[in-house]
Amino acid sequence: MSSLNETYMFRTDTLRYTYVNRSALDNLGYTLEAMQALTPIEINPEATEASFRELANPLLTGEQAELNFKVVHQRKNGSTYSGEVHLQVVGQGEERTFLAFMHDVTTRTQQEHRQTTQYAITRLLLESKTLEEAAPYIMGMITQTLGWNVGVMWRLDEEMQVLRCTEVWDQKADCTPFIECTRQSNFAIGIGLPGRAWESGKVEWITDVAHDDNFPRAPSAINAGFHAAFAFPIGNRDRFYGVMEFFATTLREPDQKLLEMFEGLAGQISQFLGRKQAEQRLLHAKNQAEQVARERAEILATVEAFFICVNGEGAVTTWTPRAETIFSISLVEALGRPFMKLPIPWSWEELHVAMGKAGNMLKTIRVDKIRLAIPNKKDIFLKLTVSPICDDRGVTYIFMGEDISDRLVLEHDLVRAQKLESIGHLAAGIAHEINTPTQFVGDNVHFLSDSFSDLFAVLDRYRALLMSAKAGTCAPDLIKACEAESRRADLDYLVEEIPKAIAQSAEGMNRIATIVRAMKEFAHPGSDEKICVDLNKAIESTVTVARNEWKYIADLTTDLATDLPLVPCLLGQFNQVILNMIVNATHAIADVVKGTSVKGTITITTRRVEGWAEVRITDSGTGIPEDIRRKIFDPFFTTKEVGKGTGQGLAIAHSVIVDKHQGTIAIESEMGRGATFIVRLPLELQVMTDVVEMAA
């Protein structure tokens, strides 16, 4: 409560003032003589003598010794202010007098009303889709909470370059002529209150429209009893949208705090419009993408976000209908309860970490994916932002989130589709890789078969000679036949070549087994959850299945760290990233070595760097121009000619590494000297959050 600032004494019978202190006289604008001719009823526009006597009767009858109530006083100039009054009766008999002590609570009340209005409008803008949808509620909130009577929305007619009335919010029943005059008016820049706000780009305030030289609607406003008015512009650097205007039946001097609030509100609405305009641009760009992607995106765009507000004491103060639907907890069950005790089946540890960061850093924190495991239902995945708002009551947390389950399915399907496409594309090369060892294994098998026939013939001759020798004879013709068969078979040659053929066949079979095993490991769909894997082994498998892509263009070498630990990873998706980068490196080198017999180089290294596993893929290609490096991870962006690329490879790589693994992708490149892609994955599973913006 503010300090004591007004004291009154007035008779209990006539209610005439007998004493008024200097503070009250200065505030009301009257002299003591003028005040002694008045009654409390005459400076209180909301009271009558009957209502006052009914209020004060318990003091006169002795039922109460004192009385506290709120009051609105009207100054001599017509303006009003709020107060809290302590009233008691002093004296006896005809000497009885009312003694009143009044505290002016205008500042406190205005501050409370401003805070309520700001919070309500912020929430409204978060939940509204268009300004047309939000404007009536914004004007209603300002008129109802801050004590204004009429609100008017003016929109710019860009063709005619005038402001036209599009919406009126009315709390005053007897101002129809003024509203009709307003609806029929339009204002050019600098004309009238709306035109002045348009021209200045800031809040314009009129204490009394009856004495303003640039207010064309003054006659109808005076007839309606209006005095104070203000207006603020809505727009941003790129576009001016319109003006909001308000009127009151009282005189009001410019209030600096209120002016600052309305300037902030104008900025909020302008940001809202700019955000909606950007969303429209993004939607238009999205509509140019492939038909399937566009249809999926339109479906996802219809998903509503939920909004939860938790005050400084940890209690839920806002729980939107979408939150009711997602969490199966009604507004009645959630409102006022401790947020941390609500039966929400998700990882509270992740929420604690995010809230701790948001509160400590006073920045918005993003949780990219959190699982909501509702019993007897399919798991839901949510994306959250946690925004802190700091005031004298502590830190209020605002949670905004959306169900991204369908989006994750779409991303999963996209990665899977590209993987199937890659497997199909690699199939011919893998067949060729397998065909080469298969061919020489087959040739060796034919050689061994022929050799065995020759050896069998020699063996048959020696067996006949052996049987003759056992019979005690050794026919010369049998000896000659053995020698002739041995010469025909060329035993020395067979003894030398057969071991080589067997070794070559074993090597070929091992090569085939290696390719098949690598293909199996590469094509394995993997788990939806991260498991600890050997990145070196995954890279070797991918290099093997992609061999036919690069072997005619480049020499590929690996330098894989032997001390690299197992890394939490989505193996199938990581394999796809490495394949995409090998293919991109090969294409970049092909542009350099085209028409020559020279090969380029691709080098893949792995290292442990503090808490990260680092993979570097370096090529000797053309390099990446600096002006497009920031675009190469954008979906559908490609520098290849039509039919050579979809622009999805690096976009998927970024999604997999950054969004799904909380890792990083960086690029080092010099034109004409190639490029290096640096991929880092965290070595440990941890609660990962992201700072996205400075909180308001």
Give the list of residues 6+ apart from residue 681 with CB closer than 8 angstroms, or none. Answer: 535, 567, 568, 569, 574, 612, 613, 615, 657, 661, 663
Residue 505 pLDDT: 73
534 shares a domain with 434: no
294 part of a folded domain: no
237 shares a domain with 200: yes
Looking at per-residue pLDDT, the higher value among 7 and 277 belongs to 7
Total domain count, the chain: 5
Residue 413 pLDDT: 67
CATH number assigned to the domain comprising residue 387: 3.30.450.20
* pLDDT at position 303 over 60: no
Residue 696 pLDDT: 33
371 shares a domain with 479: no
168 part of a folded domain: yes
pLDDT tens per residue, range 522-552: 666 555 677 888 999 889 888 888 887 888 8
633 shares a domain with 695: yes
* pLDDT at position 209 over 90: yes
Given 286, 313, 335, which residue is the final one in a domain? 286
296 part of a folded domain: no
- Which secondary structure element, helix H or strand E, spans residue 364, and what is its range? strand 363-372
Residue 296 pLDDT: 45
8 Å CB contact between 15 and 52: yes
Residue 436 pLDDT: 65
Residue 230 pLDDT: 93
* pLDDT at position 636 over 70: no
Round to whole Å and give the CA distance between 614 and 605: 8
Looking at per-residue pLDDT, the higher value among 635 and 488 belongs to 488
Strand partners, 693: 364
Q: What mean pLDDT is predicted for residues 294-306?
A: 53
248 shares a domain with 329: no
Given 379, 403, 427, which residue is the final one in a domain? 403
Residue 693 pLDDT: 43
Looking at per-residue pLDDT, the higher value among 304 and 28 belongs to 28
Enter the DSSP assignment of 656: I
pLDDT tens per residue, range 441-468: 777 787 778 778 878 887 888 888 788 7
Q: What mean pLDDT is predicted for residues 480-506?
A: 78
556 shares a domain with 465: no
pLDDT tens per residue, range 578-598: 888 888 898 889 888 887 888
431 part of a folded domain: yes
Using 50, 70 and 90 to split pLDDT, how confident is the model at 2? Answer: very low
291 part of a folded domain: no
639 shares a domain with 554: yes
297 part of a folded domain: no
8 Å CB contact between 257 and 205: no
Residue 411 pLDDT: 66
671 shares a domain with 539: yes
Give the list of residues 6+ apart from residue 423 with CB closer than 8 angstroms, or none. Answer: 522, 523
54 part of a folded domain: yes
241 shares a domain with 280: yes
- Give the largest CA-CA distance in the chain: 170
262 shares a domain with 137: yes
**Residue 225 domain boundaries:** 110-286
**What average pLDDT does the chain have?**
81
* pLDDT at position 643 over 50: no
Q: First vs last Cα of the chain: how many Å apart?
A: 29
368 part of a folded domain: yes
Given 466, 498, 520, which residue is the final one in a domain? 520
Residue 421 pLDDT: 60
Q: Could you tell me whether strands 306-310 and 17-20 are parallel, antiparallel, or unpaired per DSSP bridges? A: unpaired
566 shares a domain with 500: no
